[in-house]
């Protein structure tokens, strides 16, 4: 006699080799094991990336959840390991170098301090290809979400190494928008001299702020790079903490 065929429900309960099937495995999986993701928040200069990072870290801490902020060693404008925004928010981060293994750093942090709920990476454009892969391993193997914030392109309009692979491998891509002085959306970054003229040569990485870099639209980028205009470096700041007129 022929053996009766399994019903669909029975097949779901039993795996191909007699073990538990996918339905049983899914039912037995604890609810807290939601899969983590890698997020890449990218923009031009002065769009509020670090402000957004610090706000995200604060939101986690408010809920009693532990975070780890990673910041590249080469960016020490505000002090070693200090992650600071243009509007005055700041926090202490953990420094990493270009040859450091970020997965190993996070694994060691968890072993020393306990469960970690989120990793936040400042200036993520400075990651190497290997480090972006390590960041994906933090997400996929350690199940810790990673929020990376960085520039998309350099002053020549070319991708940074870190940004290139974050754009390729991240689960979610989020653009943080800012505006050009023309009123259009700024998507490009210019490196300028003290007279506001665009620089077309030099190392890809040169740390600086408003005195060196300006975010512009693609059209304005073409114009200034062609020597057809200059950029006003005097960018007023919002008078935070003061009221009245």
Mind listing the pLDDT tens digit for each residue in 81-115?
788 777 778 888 999 999 999 999 999 999 999 99
The C-alpha angle with vertex 243 and arms to 238 and 245, in degrees rounded to 5, equals 90
Top pLDDT among 179 and 133 is at: 133
Calculate what percentage of the chain has a pLDDT beyond 90.
Answer: 48
Backbone angles phi, psi at 195, to 5 degrees: -100, 5
Position 239 pLDDT exceeds 60: no
Q: How far apart are CA 166 and CA 161, in angstroms?
A: 9
Q: How many Cα atoms sit within 13 Å of 134 on the Cβ side? A: 20
Position 208 pLDDT exceeds 60: no
- Token pair 């008078």 is found at 239
Q: What is the pTM of this model?
A: 0.76
Query: Could you give the C-alpha distances from 82 to 71, 78, 95, 206, in angstroms and in order?
Result: 8, 6, 9, 18
Q: Which of 130, 125, 155 is nearest to 40 (CA)?
A: 125
pLDDT confidence band for 13 (50 / 70 / 90):
very low
Q: DSSP character for 198?
A: B
pLDDT at 214: 84
- Catalytic pick from 32, 80, 123, 220? 123
pLDDT confidence band for 46 (50 / 70 / 90):
confident
Position 133 pLDDT exceeds 60: yes
Segment 129-155 shows an average pLDDT of: 96
Top pLDDT among 195 and 118 is at: 118
Q: How far apart are CA 70 and CA 75, in angstroms?
A: 11
In 10 A of CB 73, how many CB atoms?
13
175 is catalytic: no
Give 230-237 contacts, CB < 8 A, sequence gap 24+: 230/192, 230/195, 230/196, 230/197, 231/181, 231/190, 231/192, 231/196, 231/197, 231/198, 232/181, 232/196, 233/192, 233/194, 233/196, 235/46, 235/210, 237/86
Q: How far apart are CA 164 and CA 44, in angstroms?
A: 14
């Amino acid at each position: 006699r022929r053996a009766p065929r399994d019903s669909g429900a029975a097949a779901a309960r039993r795996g191909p080799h007699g073990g538990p099937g996918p339905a049983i495995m899914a039912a037995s999986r604890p609810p807290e094991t939601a899969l983590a993701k890698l997020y890449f928040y990218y923009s031009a200069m002065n769009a509020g990336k670090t402000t957004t990072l610090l706000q995200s870290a604060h939101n986690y801490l408010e809920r009693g959840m532990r975070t780890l902020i990673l910041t590249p060693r080469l960016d020490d404008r505000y002090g070693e390991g200090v992650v600071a925004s243009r509007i005055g928010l700041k926090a202490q981060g953990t420094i990493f170098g270009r040859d450091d293994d970020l997965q190993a750093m996070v694994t060691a942090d968890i072993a020393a301090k306990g469960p970690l709920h989120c990793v936040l990476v400042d200036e993520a454009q400075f990651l190497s290809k290997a480090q972006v892969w390590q960041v994906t391993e933090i997400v996929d193997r350690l199940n810790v979400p990673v929020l990376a914030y960085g520039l998309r392109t350099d002053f020549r309009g070319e991708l940074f190494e870190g940004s290139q692979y974050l754009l390729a491998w991240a689960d979610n891509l989020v653009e943080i928008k800012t505006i050009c002085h023309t009123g259009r959306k700024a998507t490009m970054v210019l490196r300028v001299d003290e007279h506001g003229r665009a620089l077309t040569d030099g190392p890809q990485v040169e740390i600086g702020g408003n005195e060196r870099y300006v975010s512009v639209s693609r059209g304005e980028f073409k114009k200034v790079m062609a020597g057809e205009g200059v950029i006003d470096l005097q960018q007023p700041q919002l008078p935070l903490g003061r009221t009245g007129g």
